[in-house]
Amino acid sequence: MNAVKNERPVVLITGAAKRVGAVIARTLHDAGYDLALHYRRSREEMDALSAELEAQRANSTLALQAELAEIENLPKLIDSVVARYGRLDGIVNNASTFYPTPIGSVAVQQWNELFASNAQAPFFLAQAAAPHLRSARGSIVSIVDIYAQHPLAQHPVYSMAKAALAAMTRALARELAPDVRVNAIAPGAILWPASGKAAADQSDLLARTPLGRIGTPADVATAALFLLREAKFTTGQILSVDGGRELVV
């Protein structure tokens, strides 16, 4: 039995439970989207976010737990969204793994883990979702990084994985045209790392950012909404949301 098609557009957001992902979820929800919200381990945060959004509009969210490194889970995620809503209009590839991998000490497990969330999962999600996105004339938005173009010291594997995601954005923009638009956002400093950042490092980064501040999750979320909803003649593009930092990197 086919699901009844949802009246509102539906977007799947990976890594949606907290930080930037949660703000993207709130922003899209406020704009009228119903949401499939993926999380990995942050069950408590996801429960709180879902309750918050459901209080605003009942039956507007679907929480989905999955390990994105397990490729066999990815088509199941798409199937779950379509079974619930009868449609899929967009994907926001927000989930990301980030940690240093100094050259000379990189293990295969680290390579696999960093590529799994930052490149592999976005591709196989797109492949599984393509028929539904074509039907909806939908959109994919991936969160890349300025380090895809300007590699971060001590983080070669992360930087390469994000570069692969940037290349995927351009490649899928060609492969899925004209029905599906595929774009990305390359944020600069949006939040200081959860483990903290030395004051001197913070000052140095701000000195190299023309707008003189770090960004906010809302800066990324509004860019995602623009690419999903407004940028109807834009595909294969990577939008820098970095306060002008790429001008002086």
- Residue from 33, 85, 147, 158 carrying the catalytic annotation: 158
CA atoms within a 13 Å half-sphere pointing along the CA-CB vector of 237: 15
Nearest to 22 by CA among 89, 94, 73, 78: 94
**33 catalytically annotated:** no
Residue 166's contacts (CB-CB under 8 Å, 6 or more residues apart) are 144, 148, 149, 184, 186, 238
Q: Check if the beta carbon of residue 141 is closer than 8 Å to that of residue 228.
A: yes
Residue 172's contacts (CB-CB under 8 Å, 6 or more residues apart) are 123, 126, 140, 180, 182
| Local structure of 218: helix, strand or coil | helix
- SS3 track for 55-106: HHCCCCEEEEECCCCCCCHHHHHHHHHHHHHCCCCEEEECCCCCCCCCCCCC
What backbone phi and psi angles, to 5 degrees, belong to 73? -75, -20
Q: Check if the beta carbon of residue 184 is closer than 8 Å to that of residue 169.
A: yes
Give the residue numbers marked as catalytic.
158
